[in-house]
């Protein structure tokens, strides 16, 4: 009986519980409270992006000097009731007079800086998510193949990435951007339609350009890491066991090797997400980024001329919103690295 009561003293939490690697990682991630806070921040940004996605790209394009009904209609589109508040006549600094429309002031065209800042979240998520996705898919696939197959496949992949890495980064980005935006591709894309669905209305050429440029230029880091890790993993016993059971290369690669290097992919996704939304600002400033949709890059690039005349609020808004998202993703990425590293069991 004594044994049993001693056993009782070991609470359930003290017993070794079988956890899947994902549960284990989440258990460790949860310990970092600041990480959880930033995860919530990312979720809020994502909801804002979805909200911005519901009313297309138009939204807050209310222009100073519009007639009142037109202005009300455009705000109505956003689901915002004006309730007799005045609409902005020209660029005004932050004031409570116009409610949410002018709470952070208006830009040179009388558009609400507040709503425009929130709407830009959509561009950030599209560029970040799809740019990073393209990048990790290329990097992961090439890294897996090079590491697992070795031989000439490996030599080709290494040659491709060492070539790509040796070209000055910004020039490579600009060269690809010029080809996408100015070449024959631009006309072809403009006409691209699936039945009645015009693709270029949904994702404009400027946006697609950013996704392609970021995807094609930022996969090298992940490819190197995955290749090096697969080199180690492929010699391990369980891979040999899988081979001796007669499993095909594809099955071993995706069912046995990939899960063991996938933490690198997740971590790299968060890093590339940040690179993507920061590159959006630089590329938009250089004139090869987005031009139709509201984006933080556009606002920040435009602030170059505004700031010297004392107009600080568009820069402050876009800069802060951009900072919030990048900080959150950077921090969560860092916490993920600690949580997912199998060598750091605590």
Partner 1 sequence: MIQYVIRRILYAIPVLLVVAFITLWLFDIAAGDPAAIKLGKNPSPEAVAALHEKLGFDDPFLVKYGKFLWSTVTLDYGVSFTDDTPVRTIFARGIGPTLSLTIPAFLLGTLVSVVLALLVAFYRGSLLDKTMTVVAIAAISISSLVYILVFQYVLADQWKLFPIWGYEYGFGALTFVALPVLIWILLSIGTDMRYYRTVALEEISRDYVRTARSKGVSERKVLFSHVLRNCLIPIVTRMAIIVPFLITGSFLLEIFFGIPGLGNTLYTAIGNSDLPVIKAFTMLGTVLYVIFDILADVSYAVLDPRVRLQ
Binding region for partner 1 (CB under 8 A): 34, 159, 162-163, 165-168, 170-171, 174-176, 178-179, 182-183, 274, 278, 281-282, 285-286, 296, 300-301, 303-304, 307-308, 312, 315, 319, 322-323, 326-327, 330-331, 334
CA–CA dist 30, 71 (Å, integer)? 47
Tracing tokens 């072809």 back to the chain, one arrives at 188
Closer to partner 1 by Cβ: residue 14 or 184: 184
Q: How far is the CB of 328 from partner 1 (least distance, A)?
A: 8
Closer to partner 1 by Cβ: residue 148 or 296: 296
Structure tokens of 172?
């490579």
Cα dist from 138 to 146, 213, 218, 309, whole Å: 12, 13, 9, 45
Residues whose CB falls within 8 Å of the CB of residue 100, separated by 6 or more in sequence, listed in order: 80, 112, 114, 115
Closer to partner 1 by Cβ: residue 253 or 288: 288
Q: Is residue 260 classed as helix, strand or coil in its secondary structure?
A: helix
Q: How far is the CB of 317 from partner 1 (least distance, A)?
A: 11
Q: How far is the CB of 332 from partner 1 (least distance, A)?
A: 10
Closer to partner 1 by Cβ: residue 16 or 166: 166
Q: Are 63 and 109 in contact (CB under 8 A)?
A: yes
Q: What is the DSSP letter of 139?
A: H
Q: How far is the CB of 175 from partner 1 (least distance, A)?
A: 4
Q: How far is the CB of 307 from partner 1 (least distance, A)?
A: 5
Q: If we measure between CA atoms, which residue out of 311, 40, 340 comes closest to residue 300?
A: 311
Closer to partner 1 by Cβ: residue 37 or 70: 37
Q: Are 332 and 317 in contact (CB under 8 A)?
A: no
Closer to partner 1 by Cβ: residue 98 or 297: 297
Q: How far is the CB of 208 from partner 1 (least distance, A)?
A: 16
Closer to partner 1 by Cβ: residue 63 or 174: 174
Q: If we measure between CA atoms, which residue out of 155, 138, 161 comes closest to residue 212?
A: 138
Q: How far is the CB of 198 from partner 1 (least distance, A)?
A: 25
Element (H, E) at 189: helix 184-191
DSSP string for 33-85: HHHHHHHHHHHHHHHHHHHHHTTTTTSS---TT--HHHHHHHHHHTT---TTP
């Amino acid at each position: 009986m004594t044994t049993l009561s001693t056993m009782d003293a070991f609470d359930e939490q003290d017993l070794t519980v079988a956890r899947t690697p994902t549960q284990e990682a989440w258990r460790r991630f949860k310990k970092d409270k600041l990480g959880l806070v930033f995860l919530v921040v990312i979720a809020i940004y994502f909801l804002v992006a979805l909200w911005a996605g519901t009313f297309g790209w138009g939204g807050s394009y209310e222009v100073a000097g519009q007639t009142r009904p037109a202005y009300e209609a455009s705000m109505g589109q956003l689901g915002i009731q004006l309730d007799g508040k005045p609409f902005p006549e020209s660029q005004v600094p932050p004031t409570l007079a116009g409610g949410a429309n002018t709470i952070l002031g208006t830009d040179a065209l009388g558009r609400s800086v507040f709503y425009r800042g929130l709407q830009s979240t959509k561009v950030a998520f599209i560029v970040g998510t799809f740019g990073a996705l393209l990048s990790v898919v290329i990097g992961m696939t090439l890294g897996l193949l090079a590491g697992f197959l070795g031989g000439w496949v490996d030599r080709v992949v290494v040659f491709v990435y060492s070539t790509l890495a040796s070209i000055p980064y910004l020039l490579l980005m600009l060269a690809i951007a010029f080809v996408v935006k100015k070449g024959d591709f631009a006309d072809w894309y403009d006409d691209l339609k699936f039945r009645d669905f015009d693709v270029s209305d949904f994702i404009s050429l400027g946006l697609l350009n950013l996704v392609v440029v970021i995807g094609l230029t930022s996969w090298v880091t992940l490819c190197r890491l995955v290749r090096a890790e697969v080199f180690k993993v492929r010699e391990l016993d369980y891979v040999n066991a899988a081979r001796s059971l007669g499993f095909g290369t594809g099955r071993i690669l995706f069912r046995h090797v990939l899960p063991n290097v996938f933490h690198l992919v997740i971590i790299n996704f968060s890093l590339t997400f940040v690179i993507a939304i920061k590159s959006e600002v630089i590329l938009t400033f250089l004139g090869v980024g987005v031009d139709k949709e509201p984006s933080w890059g556009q606002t920040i690039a435009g602030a170059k001329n505004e700031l010297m005349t004392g107009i600080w609020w568009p820069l402050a808004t876009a800069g802060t919103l951009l900072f919030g998202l990048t900080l959150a993703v950077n921090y969560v990425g860092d916490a993920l690295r600690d949580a997912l590293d199998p060598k750091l069991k605590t």
